[in-house]
Amino acid sequence: MQLPSSLSNLQTTAEDERQPADSTPQQTTPEDDPEPVDSKPQQTAAEDEPKPIDSTPQRTIAEDERKPVDSKPPLKEPLKPPGHLARLARSTLKTLTTLLVLALAVLAALIIWEFYVTSPWTRDGSVRVQVANVAPQVSGQITEIRVVDNQFVHQGDVLYVIDPFDFQVVLDTDEAQLRQKAADLQVKRLQAERRQHLSDLATTPEEQQLYVGNATQAQAAFDAAQRQVAQADINLKRTQVRSPVNGYITNLLMRVGDYAHAGATNISVIDADSYWIDGYFEETKMAHICIGDRAEAQLMGYRDPIVGRVESVTRGISVSNAAPSTQGLPNVDPVYTWVRLAQRVPVRIRITHVPAGFPLVSGMTATVTIRDTETRESGGWLRQRFANLVERLKSVGRPASAGCVPQIGSESGATVILPTPQPSTPLTPEEINPGLAPGLANSPRIPRIP
């Protein structure tokens, strides 16, 4: 059975592919190849006859494997060009995106300028407090210390005790002298009263005046003795040095046996009721600070801020050019830099709310921000940050606040003259002791005989 011509050609091609191909072509001579060879195979008469062609040729598995497989995917249909509306929408979207990015850039620039140049906030803030420097009012050796370092004390608590023996002796002595003066006053007062009731035959006006004068002197000595007793008693009480404020003992260095000198500070108490915050603002930002504005102080290491109010603004800072030099003349620096740094002005902030469990320590660094509107003290951190952002956007381009800080001084510029104290008019003895010697120039009385 003869195969069709198409199948025969495929088989011949497959056999040629199986033969190893020599990379170097063989050269032939005319002697080796006398006759030209037709590259096309000669077909016989039987092959020339028409044969029926099978529409479904039978192929073996080996032929299917040897057939090269085209790895390229079939070509897709060419994309249709976008229409006019699509091109318009795309162009409009690009334009809007560009405008939006430009607007955001301008807004960000304005916010950054407002935040860093004119917005009333500063990182240069600190927590301040009043410190009571306790010094004894009497001198003596310290015999007892009743507090330890960093202990909280109430007003009136005893801090330490000075040896009270000497002061107790002085008090007892003054009390004894007071009793003596009191007895002398009683005797002389009775003598003067008795002389006033005697007749002219038993006494004279001079004697009456003498006894009244003695009684008055005894009264003065008694009053002086009472003051000495009071002084000795208060000195004895001062041997127990007490805390003048509610606060914390700090930097306690004394020990039992030290000698306390009157007027010399030896213990310090931080006043727990006097904490405040000082914010040192640049002078370019002072135009937006008003008395009573809400202030927030963010301390390092803590998330929740301390809330307060602007209480006052310092009205003077040190100026180096005002320092007096030779002959008291001002010493002015001849160098003037081109770029001038803004001076910093202290602003005092009264604390109104401290987060629970927040330890206030004097000297802590704070970032102080002055706000015009009331932000929510309650709520989450995200809500507070959103409110701050809204406030920041509202503050862009706002004018300076005028008249929010009260003025000080006379607008007319008149010189203030302090009143000069006048000495008191000296008193006469009669004004000091009126009626001590009545009728000193009168003659003695003559009694009537019934």
Instruction: Please choose, from the candidates 371, 364, 438, the residue with its C-alpha nearest in 3D space to the C-alpha of residue 398.
Output: 371
Whole-number pLDDT of residue 28: 45
DSSP 202-258: T--HHHHHHHHHHHHHHHHHHHHHHHHHHHHHHHHHTTEEE-SSSEEEES----TTP
Give the neighbor-by-neighbor strand order of the sheet with 158-162.
Answer: 240-242, 158-162, 140-145, 259-260
Please choose, from the candidates 279, 284, 282, the residue with its C-alpha nearest in 3D space to the C-alpha of residue 295.
279
Amino acid 254: pLDDT: 92
Q: Is 228 helix (H, G, I), strand (E, B) or coil?
A: helix
Q: Which ranges in 372-416 belong to alpha helices (H)?
A: 381-394
Instruction: Catalogue all structural domains in the chain, each as residue range(s) with its CATH number.
Output: 132-268 (2.40.50.100)
Helical ranges in 19-83 per DSSP H: 45-48, 61-66
Q: Are strands 158-162 and 240-242 parallel, antiparallel or unpaired?
A: antiparallel
Place of tokens 């990182």: 123
Instruction: Give the chain's residues under pLDDT 50.
Output: 1-8, 10-15, 17, 19-49, 53, 55-56, 61, 375-378, 444, 446-450
DSSP 8-class letter at 118: I
Q: Which two three-digit tokens encode residue 312? A: 């006052």
Question: Which two tokens mark 128?
Answer: 């301040």
| Total residue count of the chain as it appears in this document | 450
| DSSP structure class, residue 117 | I
In this structure, are residues 116 and 206 in contact, taking their beta carbons and an 8 Å threshold? Answer: no
Please report the pLDDT score of residue 151 as a whole number: 95
In DSSP notation, 408-443 reads -S-TT-PPP-PPPPPPPPPPPHHHHSTTSSTTTTSP
| 3-class state of residue 261 by DSSP | coil
**Could you tell me the strand order of the sheet in which 152-153 lies?**
131-134, 267-271, 247-250, 152-153
Quick check: 280 and 367 in contact, CB under 8 A?
no
H/E run at residue 13: helix 5-18
Q: 3-state DSSP call for residue 296?
A: strand
Question: pLDDT tens for residues 365-395?
Answer: 999 998 865 544 445 556 665 666 666 666 5
CB-based contact 166:192 (threshold 8 Å)? no
Whole-structure pTM value: 0.63
Element containing residue 348 per DSSP (H, E): strand 344-353
Dihedral angle of Cα 160, 166, 168, 172, to the nearest 10 degrees = -170
DSSP letter assigned to residue 444? P
pLDDT at res. 346: 95
Determine the pLDDT at residue 75: 55
